[in-house]
Amino acid sequence: MEKSGYALLIFTIGVLGVNGQIKDGKFQNPINPGPDPYCDFFEGNYYLTTTQGDAIRMWKSPNLGSLKTAKSVTIWTDSNPSRCRGIWAPEFHFITNHWYVYYTATSADGKDANHRLYVLESKGANPLGPYHFKGRLFDPDNDRYAIDPTVFKNPGDGRWYSVWAADPGHLLRMAKLSNPWTIEGHSVVIPASGFGCANIREAPEMLQHLGLLFLVYSACDTGAPDYKLGMLMAGTNSDLLNPLSWEQYPKPIFERSDRNGVFGPGHNGFFHSPDGAEDWIIYHAKTNSFYTYKGRETRAQKFTWNADGTPNFGEPIPLSTVLDEPSAYTAKKLRPNKF
């Protein structure tokens, strides 16, 4: 064996062990075969959801890497013909001692145009539920196709907001919430660049850092290899429902990496490490460079911050990369670590 091959073997055994399994404290992507991921860490465990289509399923594990072998728990199915098909992009938020699951669903005939926004409420503080149907997140200004709802609390005014994607134009809309399942007042369109892609803006997520809000969104068709992340910025003390409060970041912040074999990275979420010291992005991507919805899998990686306070996501890493688990915390009881 050549010296370089011997060194590679020693490295591989050191990281993977003699049986080929990843050692404790290490993992490799993907961590789930599904797209549109959302993840959070709560009281000693990671919880993950991805698009399943026919139901909402959740995975639970004390380690990020072991989510890929965890068994799913079905937390919601629906027989109501107005909302029982095309169940997409669920995400879960802890608000006033309950978990609220925000998701998209369409009618029994499967018509895409009938997708609307819905909310579940947990009975208690267990992310796995049980849940009951709370209501439709109804926008009286625009009762049309709508997908990918998220919510966030703005520290500047103490109010909760929702952002989602909707027609006409498949653009981002934002509104205040009077409670976790009710839009208050009027919604507004928040313009966002597609960087030359088709007119699709979707999957908004909010990131907060040093008095700034970063509205991260996905641009292009999710089946395209050029699916990517863009970003808008606003101060926490600004009028968030004024589109002029949002500044467009001039270039994509996360996009395909041909050299790493990663295509169509997007539809992301954010979470902290258990000790709060690290910031992580979770997203879906695929290994094929042609147009297809197949092959989108959930991946996660750590990100950092630039000197000007903006997030630095780097580039999507190859599947061959062995990652350290997020830094741990020894306390037994933890609160949800939302940004």
Band (pLDDT 50/70/90 cuts) for residue 329 is low
**Pairs from 193-196 (Cβ < 8 Å, separation ≥ 24):** 193/219, 193/230, 193/248, 194/219, 194/220, 194/230, 195/219, 195/228, 195/230, 195/251, 195/252
DSSP state for residue 21 in the 8-state scheme: P
Mean pLDDT, rounded, for 98-103: 98
Instruction: Give the pLDDT score at 197.
Output: 87
Indicate if the pLDDT at residue 296 is higher than 50. yes
Q: What is the DSSP string of 129-178?
A: --EEEEEE---TT--S-EEEEEEEEETTTTEEEEEEEETTTTEEEEEEEE
Indicate if the pLDDT at residue 11 is higher than 80. no
Confirm whether 43 is a catalytic residue: no
Indicate if the pLDDT at residue 216 is higher than 90. yes
- Domains along the sequence of the chain with CATH: 20-324 (2.115.10.20)
Instruction: Give the pLDDT score at 17.
Output: 43
302-326 pLDDT tens trace: 999 999 999 999 999 999 999 999 9
67-98 pLDDT tens trace: 999 999 999 999 999 999 999 999 999 999 99
Of these residues, 91, 139, 202, 279, which one is catalytic? 202
Q: Kind of pairing, strands 279-286 and 297-305?
A: antiparallel
Instruction: Give the pLDDT score at 331.
Output: 43
Interatomic CA distance for residues 171 and 71, integer angstroms: 35
Band (pLDDT 50/70/90 cuts) for residue 194 is very high
Instruction: Give the pLDDT score at 9.
Output: 42
Q: Are 24 and 17 in contact (CB under 8 A)?
A: no
Q: Cα–Cα–Cα angle for 149, 153, 158, nearest 5°?
A: 145
Q: Cα–Cα–Cα angle for 177, 179, 182, nearest 5°?
A: 65
Interatomic CA distance for residues 207 and 233, integer angstroms: 10
Q: In whole angstroms, what separates CA 116 from the centre of its chain? A: 18
Confirm whether 258 is a catalytic residue: no
Interatomic CA distance for residues 62 and 102, integer angstroms: 24
Instruction: Give the pLDDT score at 130.
Output: 98
Interatomic CA distance for residues 34 and 43, integer angstroms: 24
Band (pLDDT 50/70/90 cuts) for residue 22 is low
Interatomic CA distance for residues 163 and 189, integer angstroms: 10
Instruction: Give the pLDDT score at 91.
Output: 98
Share of the chain above pLDDT 90, in %: 88
Instruction: Give the pLDDT score at 23.
Output: 73
